[in-house]
């Protein structure tokens, strides 16, 4: 097989890149090691920044998002049971859209197939070769047959556990990371959310987040130990803790638990995001803790930059944007890293925190909810910094 851009991974990054390239007349092949059913049903966060929702609509993949997405013009911050509303409309006149990541993936898969593919599922034994040549190669197995794609560029959109980042030669990649001493236990529940907007709730018992997928389905998270075993959390125990962490600020309706799981919390960046003709995008290059809901949005920003660089290469034979790809992405990535770390550290209880840390944290929350300037800074970052 031969194409211009070989895309490894059909998550939000790979699928969005394929759509952007298609609209620019650049050919691509996507290979994905999971099944279509698996990628379309993997439950992840579901918050889309202002510019990213507009982009999905502009790219022709936003019809269902416009119909079913929940547009939010603010969030609530709970501090030991007292709710404070941050009004994004008044602060910065921007919004976010709540729409599950797997719904974005479904819409992008439908579009990819309508664009004529190719999109190969359940590939195996993927490897990348000749990265510093003009003609890198992807080898893999599909339906038990060995295959190869010769391309001009490889887009490594294969997530945190993919093979692209580890294919950088020794010494050509530097990692910056931080683990947090807690995780998030998340449930999807058939019950109405306790408020029409999200509630980020700091309590002495730990953090909780009340979000949603629709008017009738809630997504609820609890801070838990980083090595927590989900088997220790019966539905009754989860509801009991959620009620306590909402602190009576709103009434929380219980419902059938449709899914539950634990999300690890990690900050991670690999630099640079390119080696030869292999370019990383999304989770393959960086991970943020979910507190700021930046994961999918960062993946979208990366592939916008990558598609612009590829367009400049193919239409003007200009390589500067490709050469500057990593630096361009990392400026945005590090600001989102800082914001996600900051949101995480003000909202959670840390097992090793000192009395000083605790007082400082409460002061941080008090400042955020008492100062229009502080609230504006959060709002600007939460809805997504401008792309350029």
Among ligand PHB, ligand APR, none, what does residue 74 contact (CB within 5–8 Å per kind)? none
Burial class (CB within 10 angstroms; exposed 0-12, middle 13-18, buried 19+) of 387? middle
Site residues for ligand PHB, window 212-231 (CB under 6 A)? 219
Find out whether 12 and 49 touch, Cβ atoms under 8 Å.
no
Residue 72 designated active-site: yes
Residues forming the site for ligand APR (CB under 6 A): 8-14, 31-34, 39, 44-45, 101, 123, 126, 157-159, 161-163, 282-283, 295-296, 299
Interface with ligand PHB in residues 287-316 (CB under 6 A): 290-291, 293
The footprint of ligand PHB on this chain (CB under 6 A) covers a number of residues equal to 11
- Residue 47 contacts ligand PHB per CB under 6 A: yes
Residue 382 designated active-site: yes
Nearer to ligand APR, 62 or 295 (CB): 295
Name the residue nearer to ligand APR (CB basis): 56 or 249. Answer: 56
Catalytic residue among 99, 180, 200, 202: 200
Stretch that binds ligand PHB, among 54-62, 254-262, 286-294, 354-362 (CB under 6 A): 286-294
Q: Distances in Å between the alpha carbon of 36 and those of 33, 127, 138, 187?
A: 9, 21, 21, 23
Q: Tokens 């997530």 identify what position?
A: 159
Taking CB within 5 to 8 Å according to partner kind, which of ligand APR, ligand PHB, none is near residue 282? ligand APR
Binding residue for ligand PHB (CB under 6 A) from 3, 28, 189, 211?
Answer: 211
Name the binder of 246 from ligand APR, ligand PHB, none, CB < 5-8 A by kind: none
Name the residue nearer to ligand PHB (CB basis): 3 or 337: 337
Closer residue to ligand APR (CB): 39 or 242: 39
Active site residue 290: yes
145 belongs to the catalytic site: no
* Nearer of residues 219 and 308 to ligand PHB, judged by Cβ: 219
Token pair recorded at residue 140: 């893999």
Q: Is the CB of 97 or the CB of 361 nearer to ligand PHB?
A: 97
Q: Is the dihedral of CA 155, 269, 37, 255 positive or negative?
A: negative
Instruction: Give backbone dihedrals phi and psi of 216, rounded to 5 degrees, phi first.
Output: -120, -5
Tell me how far, at minimum, the Cβ of 186 lies from ligand PHB, in Å: 7
Which partner, ligand APR, ligand PHB, none, binds residue 296 by CB below 5 to 8 Å per kind? ligand APR
Q: Is 294 a catalytic residue?
A: yes
The answer to whether 348 touches 206, Cβ cutoff 8 Å, is: yes
Q: Which does 70 bind (CB under 5 to 8 A by kind): ligand PHB, ligand APR, none?
A: none
Per partner kind, with CB cut-offs from 5 to 8 A, the member of ligand PHB, ligand APR, none near residue 61 is: none
In the complex, which residues of this chain contact ligand PHB (CB under 6 A)? Answer: 45-47, 98, 198, 209, 211, 219, 290-291, 293
Active site (catalytic) residues = 72, 200, 290, 294, 382
């Amino acid at each position: 097989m031969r194409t211009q851009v070989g895309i490894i991974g059909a998550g939000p990054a790979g699928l969005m890149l394929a759509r952007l390239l298609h609209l620019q007349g650049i050919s691509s092949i996507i290979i994905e090691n999971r099944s279509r059913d698996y990628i379309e049903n993997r439950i992840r966060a579901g918050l889309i920044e202002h510019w990213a929702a507009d982009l999905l609509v502009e790219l022709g993949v936003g019809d269902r998002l416009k119909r079913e997405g929940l547009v939010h013009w603010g969030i609530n911050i709970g501090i030991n049971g007292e709710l404070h509303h941050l009004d994004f409309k008044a602060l910065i006149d921007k919004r976010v859209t709540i729409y599950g990541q797997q719904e974005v993936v479904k819409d992008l898969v439908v579009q990819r197939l309508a664009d004529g593919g190719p999109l190969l599922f359940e590939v195996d034994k993927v490897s990348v070769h000749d990265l510093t040549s003009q003609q890198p190669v992807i080898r893999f197995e599909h339906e038990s047959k060995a295959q190869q794609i010769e391309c001009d560029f490889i887009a490594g959109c294969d997530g945190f556990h993919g093979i692209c980042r580890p294919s950088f030669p020794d010494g050509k990649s530097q990692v910056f990371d931080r683990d947090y001493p807690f995780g998030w236990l998340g449930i999807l529940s058939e019950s109405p959310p306790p408020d029409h907007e999200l509630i980020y709730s700091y309590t002495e018992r730990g953090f909780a987040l009340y979000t949603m997928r629709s008017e009738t389905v809630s997504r609820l998270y609890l801070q838990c130990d980083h090595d927590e075993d989900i088997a220790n959390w019966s539905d009754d125990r989860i509801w009991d803790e959620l009620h306590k962490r909402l602190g009576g600020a709103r009434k929380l309706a219980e419902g059938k638990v449709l899914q539950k799981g634990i999300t690890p919390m990690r900050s991670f960046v690999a630099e640079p995001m390119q080696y030869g003709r292999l370019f990383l995008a999304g989770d393959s290059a960086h991970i943020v803790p979910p507190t700021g809901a930046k994961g999918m949005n960062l993946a979208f920003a990366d592939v916008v930059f990558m598609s612009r660089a590829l367009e400049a290469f193919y239409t003007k034979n200009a390589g500067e944007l490709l050469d500057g790809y990593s630096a361009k992405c990392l400026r945005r990535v590090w600001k989102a890293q800082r914001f996600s770390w900051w949101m995480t550290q003000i909202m959670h209880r840390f097992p090793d925190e000192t009395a000083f840390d605790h007082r400082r944290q409460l002061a941080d929350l008090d400042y955020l909810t008492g100062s229009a300037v502080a609230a504006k800074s959060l709002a600007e970052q939460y809805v997504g910094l401008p792309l350029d």
